[in-house]
Structure 1
């Protein structure tokens, strides 16, 4: 009696992988073995880079805040310290957005930080 391999299910799995690697180059999008390797690697990169994206965005926000703060006479670290002393709880994402889109509002926040630093000294 021949061995049962459930060809229908395995063919469906193969089809799903081939469908998922559409757009990969060469045999990576055509042959099941290469396609499966390519898919596993792509999924690993996707998982890793979802975390790296958060890291990269935070670095971008800090760079933007620093540039805008220096235009207003403070460094990034002084600004963040002043905001902490003034009990201003605005996260870096919002601060960076303000620095780019609303410079006057950002300047007001910087003034609050400066006043808090002066009062604390």
Structure 2
């Protein structure tokens, strides 16, 4: 959302950044990846709500969600360009927050082990 808003507001060469194909493509892929991670999270929660085993799905949601959050924050920072490092722009904080997701509550490597263990039986 922060990247999208910036791309709509920021003008370059007389037009908004979102009018440039590379920026629009980045935003589209960010939206797709976020939706996939969100749906996997919802499915994992649905499994839990219906008293079904969900450790594999929850691990997948955590692993994918953390990676997608980092990728989206990084892409949004790239859309911001040099302004992304300025403290007055929210994206610098979002990038820091997204990075920690892969560490808290089980690093990505741990989540991958949980998933692999379940896949292998």
Please tell me the TM-score bracket, short chain as reference: under 0.3
Q: TM-score, normalised by structure 1?
A: 0.27
Highest relative contact order (Cα 8 Å, sep 6+), 1 or 2? Answer: 2
